[in-house]
Structure 1
Amino acid sequence: MLSTDKTKRAQIFVCIAIVLMLISMIGASLIQTSGGRVKVDEVNWVDTDGIRKTALLLVPENATLETPAPAIVTSHGFLNNKEMQDLNYVELARRGYVVLAIDMASHGDSQIAPGVGNMMPSVWQGVLFLADIGYVDTARIGVTGHSFGGFSSNFAVTMDNAAGTNLISAVLVNSMDPTYDSDGDGVFDNVYGSRDVGVVAGEYDEFGFNIFDENGVKQPKPDYIHSDEAQSFLYFGTDRGEEPEREANTVYTQEVDGQEAMRVIYTSNIIHPWSHFSARSTKSTIEFFEQALGAPNPIPATNQVWQWKTVFNVVGIVGFVMFAINCAIALLATPFFRSVSSLGADQTLTAPAFKGKKWWFWTSLVISAVAGSVIFLPIMLATKSATYERTFLNQAAVRGVSTWAMACGLVALVMLLVTKAVNKDAWAECIANVRITPARLFKTILLALTVVAASYAWVFIADYFFHVDFRIWVLAFKRFNPVFLLIAIPFMIMGSVFYVMSSISVNCFNYCKLGGKEWVNTLVLALFTGAPAFIITLMQYIYFYQTGNLLFAVGESALFVVWLFPLVAILPISVLVSRKIYKACGNPYLPGIINAIIVALVSSANTCTFY
């Protein structure tokens, strides 16, 4: 039972957390709507392929039936969602463009489909949707997409050509190669015709812009701009021959079919996923469409406000985490959930007596971190976690990461069993806090579900009233369709193996005072828990920047490393959440289950799903 002071403190922090989330919603919305000058709606329609699509439609006040405005379709990449384009749609809408930020099929809130074939036409279907709107200038429709969204933009051009409509007048392909040879005959061609076309090519893009020498050997990056493919694009689909090499970040124009068309390749020192979070990439997007379509409300490309939306989003993340922690603590004081806690009202936790066995504390942490690092890629490859078709448990990426998490949980279990032999005194003291009755475990699970439901209610409120969520770069707490609850259940169970074992390890066996201070212990445990994700990512990109080649490049290894980016933050944060809740109740299962459920929902709502 919690003391009155602890309960009141938790209730106060719940209120503070709610205030932070409200500040986040309102602030992010004000940026997204340009202070109310842009109307934002979520739209749903069934496209010509019979697939239900969802998108954010941003309409600036200058777009009317009397004064139609240019319009742009923005698209995320594989395993993402429409909100990943917020830096682009915020900046484009405030410059007067109508923007349709789509969820591709099998992503976000759009209909789940069997495979990649249903994803490819997504940008084209967005173009058709815009073309039917009276306040859209159909002579000035552009498309842009990141990664697979860039591929879908290229495919939209193919569809536009086949339809003979020429609805698309400008194409900006981001982090994806443009089309060089449309029919595969080895001869460069100009599939884009008289359209204005640009490419955002990160100099350290892990996946696109690969070039090879005459012997077929892959060359190190960032030499893409000098390749025959890049030069053919800048020369409007022809081999440059003896012509001088054209440069990056320079607009080239040429008359095509009686119209002046432009080609440009923007380069910057960024990796593939960083284009989602890059002021330079956004600057290129703004400059390209202003030159290609004309901006109804011209604003210098360096004048960007999306970063402020990110600041407000982060405030929301802080509020969400604070709410989850203190909601759990506050509910522990209620009569129904009081038995979840093993502590009395005035009881405090004491650190276990290591009795000179601190060497095992450090050794077990190192072994766990190394083991987690070593097994990651083999597990991801063995489980075939990158697929573009129907797959077991519907979400291959989440399935793979959850399998790895479960394996890491088993490693933690082995470490605890070894502790029994190494440090018997500490084992006897610590294991007492691990024992739990079935009835108490049932209430623990029920309390965890209640906390997650209450926490996610604020995410749904943010989406429904303000069309925003709580996110920073690749980490996002977003609203999900109810179907994802069923999809995520297996991942919650698999994740619980890790997060519960992590909570037991962190709180029951490694809860001590390093240097006489508990916070030092918490920090050390947080860093070691996130170490596998951090170590693999660091190794990959240090080597990449030094050599121009990827260290992990077998199969889909490079893609798997990118998936670790959000875990670099999630894993340490889970330790902080776990420690805070455990100190209030002495029950290691409660924070472990809460972490497992939230991470499963975050993962399932921000990936690709195939039925």
Structure 2
Amino acid sequence: MKKPAKPLIAFCACILVVILSMCFAALVQTGFGKIRVSTGSFENMAGGVPGSIAYKLYVPAGADKDHPVPAVLVMHGYQNDKETSAAYGIELARRGIAALSVDLYGHGDNSLGMRFRGWGKAKLTNLDKKVSGPQRFLIMMTFSILDFFKPAISEGVKDSSMGGKDAYRYLQSLDFVDPGRIGITGHSMGTWASWSTGAAFPGHKAIVLQCGELLSPDYYDAAANKFNNVLLLQARYDEFDYFRDYQKNVIGLEKTPLRYRDFMGQTSPVEWNRTYGSFADGTARRMELLQTNHRLATHDGHALTTAMYWFTNALDVKPSLADSNHIYMIKEVLALLAMLAALASMLPLCLLFARLPFFAPIVQGLETSNLKLVSPKGRRKVAIIAILVSGLTFPFLGQLGHGLMPVPENIFRMTIGNGFITWLTFLMLVSLFMLLHWYKKGEGKRIGATLYDLGLGDKAAPDRLNWQVIGKSVLLAFILTGIMYILVCVCVTVFQLDFRFIWPFFRPFTFNRLGQFFVYLPFYAAFFTVNAGVRLYGQLRLPEKSSPAKTQLAWWGYSVFIMLGGVFLIVLIEYIPFFLGFGPGADLLFSSLFGGPFMSVMILLIPQFAVFFFLSTWLYRKTGRIYLGSFIVAILASWVLAGGSAMF
């Protein structure tokens, strides 16, 4: 047996990078000893059903019952969690303001699903027309309807704060918090929660809306609901139409009555980035224009600077730090480095396990001179079809599955996950049909392609499946990802940090989320086995290059091109018209129904899948089969989905 020195050293180096990165990230999170960070949960009641709200609390080191400090309730957006609000938690606490970041219904570790928000009867833009469809669709179509609206409008909405009201009460109860100086902030979905919480607690001192919808006073009793010192952080390239007042572009909205009159309290058009009114009487208003998109607004430096200015003035805090003095992004970069190192650790660990007699049969060499490869012309044809089909179906099938696909909603509870599996399953079926035709009747039959050529069989028996090898590949995939899961659990316990970059990627499961992992795993396994396995490394495999490193890079780049080319196409369709001033491409070409979540999610999807394809490429090259790589990335993708996204 070969000595395992190099893989063992590489594995230990990866783990060392994880530990050191998380250690330094934890130091940043605590402001290098000036912030106390803790996690926990408190009870809440939604529609009479008991549940718990998980939180992360950032407290200035000197705060106690004898030295109470002001505080801010921080609420995340759709498909995020309390850790996504870390930038606000860190920067507020550095300025002497406690921050309570919570998981809203259906997100993170909150025990209650999004359904406990309730839903209205019609959209605000068309109140005379009833909304119909699955319950998750009704919630998403009536997010804009809030529980303090007039009864004729808000009927059916239970708690549009999504737990925010209970969180505000909890924040008030903490003995180190000055209950007379509390602010509220939220991003996206969290802005509706912010409005709802503010309406319930008129004593709040400030609200910061991170990409929020503005409310017409026609919908609620303006005399009974006062909102104090409201700042709107407006992303110029916001993919969601309701955060652009249902207009194509943000520029020009400062001249509409909804903006200058109803929100800003002025009699004529206003200017961006200028404060109107007074903090003293709660009339301060400001619209800050951010040169960013919807998702990135939570960590935009301009946004954080303006928010710090707003809260310190509204809460009467005089920090020694400048509003623009930030350290939050250091923590994000370090957590990203830890995540990449944890993913990389699986590769040398795979080599170590492969040297054990039990797992040794998983690995076989590639005899490239004898493999049957598709001609360059055939590769180009299949690649073009794959890119066009995946790109042109992404907006439609994603949104169809997201809201309207008639699946059992108590089983398929991951709202955006339903959109992904609808799209990916369609792509898998198209690829499977094309592969079977190619293999049995087309060019594959003509050139004599075997299962071994497709990465499915053995050299000794090229036309048979080896079920023992398949079973051992599945087992090893769970072992390798299971060790990574243990690693993230250790980091959460020791450092109070999981593996992410801004948005949730790899985090520990709750019991309900673990169940959802197994619900969605078969769909991802089928997709990665067929599309990112048999087709990519079998039918369309490139010849090897002059060195292993060049082969890895060439095959990886090719994988990204084939598998993500369609999504890149949609990126161009969406953002080029937006940057040119015409508005988001999906809204212009397909209507706003196909914009929003599946446009903004591309910023997560592309880098996530690019990393996955690097892993699957490497694992195919090392094992000579598609199984281990396909199963590992399927587990990782299902983990990302079930661990961090919204549950109905």
One fold, TM greater than 0.5? yes
Q: How does 1:410-421 map to 2 (within 5 A)?
A: 410-420=429-439, 421=442
Tell me if the contact between 1:75 and 1:146 (Cα under 8 Å) persists in the aligned partners: yes
Tell me if the contact between 1:104 and 1:119 (Cα under 8 Å) persists in the aligned partners: no
- One of 264, 276, 279 as aligned partner of 2:286: 264
Residues 244 and 33 of structure 1, relative CA distance in 2, 3 Å threshold: same
Q: Which amino acid aligns with 1:143?
A: I
Q: Which amino acid aligns with 2:333?
A: V
1:159, distance to aligned residue in structure 2 (A):
1.4
Tell me if the contact between 1:194 and 1:255 (Cα under 8 Å) persists in the aligned partners: no
Please say if 1:493 is aligned against 2:532: no
Q: How does 1:15-54 map to 2 (within 5 A)?
A: 15-49=12-46, 50-54=50-54
- One of 198, 201, 204 as aligned partner of 2:237: 204
Tell me if the contact between 1:351 and 1:512 (Cα under 8 Å) persists in the aligned partners: no
* Structure 1: distance between partners of 2:61 and 2:84: 24
Please say if 1:607 is aligned against 2:645: yes
Residues 386 and 277 of structure 1, relative CA distance in 2, 3 Å threshold: farther
- One of 404, 414, 417 as aligned partner of 1:395: 414
**Which whole-Å deviations, capped at 9, do the CAs of 1:109-131 have from their partners, x for residues lacking one?**
01123343356242222110111
What residue is the counterpart of 1:170 in the other structure?
A: 206
- One of 274, 286, 292 as aligned partner of 2:296: 274
Residues 434 and 263 of structure 1, relative CA distance in 2, 3 Å threshold: same
Tell me if the contact between 2:254 and 2:269 (Cα under 8 Å) persists in the aligned partners: no
Structure 1: any 5+ residue segments left out of the alignment?
213-217
Tell me if the contact between 2:586 and 2:595 (Cα under 8 Å) persists in the aligned partners: yes
Tell me if the contact between 1:504 and 1:589 (Cα under 8 Å) persists in the aligned partners: no
Tell me if the contact between 1:530 and 1:569 (Cα under 8 Å) persists in the aligned partners: no
Please say if 1:595 is aligned against 2:628: no
* Structure 2: distance between partners of 1:386 and 1:291: 45
* Structure 1: distance between partners of 2:404 and 2:24: 36
Residues 390 and 294 of structure 1, relative CA distance in 2, 3 Å threshold: farther
1:455, distance to aligned residue in structure 2 (A):
0.9
Tell me if the contact between 1:352 and 1:426 (Cα under 8 Å) persists in the aligned partners: no
Runs of 4+ in 1 over 6 A off after TM superposition: none
Please say if 1:385 is aligned against 2:415: no
**Which whole-Å deviations, capped at 9, do the CAs of 1:536-557 have from their partners, x for residues lacking one?**
1221111222244222233243
Q: How does 1:80-479 map to 2 (within 5 A)?
A: 80-113=80-113, 114-117=115-118, 118=159, 120-161=161-202, 166=203, 168-181=204-217, 183=219, 189=222, 193=226, 195-207=228-240, 208-211=242-245, 218=247, 220-233=249-262, 235-236=264-265, 240=266, 243-254=267-278, 259=281, 261-295=283-317, 297-341=319-363, 343=364, 347=365, 350=368, 353=371, 357-385=375-403, 390=409, 392-420=411-439, 421-423=442-444, 424-425=446-447, 427-428=449-450, 430-431=452-453, 433-435=455-457, 436-474=465-503, 476-479=505-508
Q: Which amino acid aligns with 1:539?
A: I
* Structure 2: distance between partners of 1:570 and 1:426: 36
1:413, distance to aligned residue in structure 2 (A):
2.7
* Structure 2: distance between partners of 1:597 and 1:194: 45
Tell me if the contact between 2:161 and 2:192 (Cα under 8 Å) persists in the aligned partners: yes
What residue is the counterpart of 2:541 in the other structure?
A: 511
What residue is the counterpart of 1:577 in the other structure?
A: 615
What residue is the counterpart of 2:133 in the other structure?
A: none
Q: Which amino acid aligns with 1:507?
A: Y
1:434, distance to aligned residue in structure 2 (A):
0.8
Number of residue-to-residue matches in the alignment: 582
**Which whole-Å deviations, capped at 9, do the CAs of 1:91-142 have from their partners, x for residues lacking one?**
1111111110100021100112334335624222211011111110111100
Residues 411 and 475 of structure 1, relative CA distance in 2, 3 Å threshold: farther
Tell me if the contact between 1:175 and 1:199 (Cα under 8 Å) persists in the aligned partners: yes
* Structure 2: distance between partners of 1:354 and 1:439: 25
* Structure 2: distance between partners of 1:557 and 1:473: 22
> Residue 471 of structure 1 aligns to a residue in which SS?
strand
Tell me if the contact between 1:96 and 1:295 (Cα under 8 Å) persists in the aligned partners: yes
Q: TM-score, normalised by structure 2?
A: 0.84
Give the % identical residues.
20
Residues 590 and 219 of structure 1, relative CA distance in 2, 3 Å threshold: closer
Between 350-359 and 463-472, the greater mean CA deviation after superposition: 350-359
1:428, distance to aligned residue in structure 2 (A):
3.3
> Residue 406 of structure 1 aligns to a residue in which SS?
helix
Q: Which amino acid aligns with 2:345?
A: F
Tell me if the contact between 1:69 and 1:296 (Cα under 8 Å) persists in the aligned partners: no
* Structure 2: distance between partners of 1:483 and 1:234: 41
1:296, distance to aligned residue in structure 2 (A):
5.5
**Which whole-Å deviations, capped at 9, do the CAs of 1:180-227 have from their partners, x for residues lacking one?**
316359xxx466637222111112222244347xxxxx4533222221
**Which whole-Å deviations, capped at 9, do the CAs of 1:46-100 have from their partners, x for residues lacking one?**
0254331001011111212111001001110122111111111111111111110
Between 22-31 and 501-510, the greater mean CA deviation after superposition: 501-510
1:430, distance to aligned residue in structure 2 (A):
4.4
* Structure 2: distance between partners of 1:305 and 1:538: 32
Q: Which amino acid aligns with 1:181?
A: P
Tell me if the contact between 2:41 and 2:53 (Cα under 8 Å) persists in the aligned partners: yes
What residue is the counterpart of 1:4 in the other structure?
A: 2
Tell me if the contact between 1:234 and 1:264 (Cα under 8 Å) persists in the aligned partners: no
Q: Which amino acid aligns with 2:186?
A: G
Residues 235 and 339 of structure 1, relative CA distance in 2, 3 Å threshold: closer
> Residue 253 of structure 1 aligns to a residue in which SS?
coil
**Which whole-Å deviations, capped at 9, do the CAs of 1:386-436 have from their partners, x for residues lacking one?**
79x956511121122022122222333344335432254372384363133
> Residue 385 of structure 1 aligns to a residue in which SS?
helix
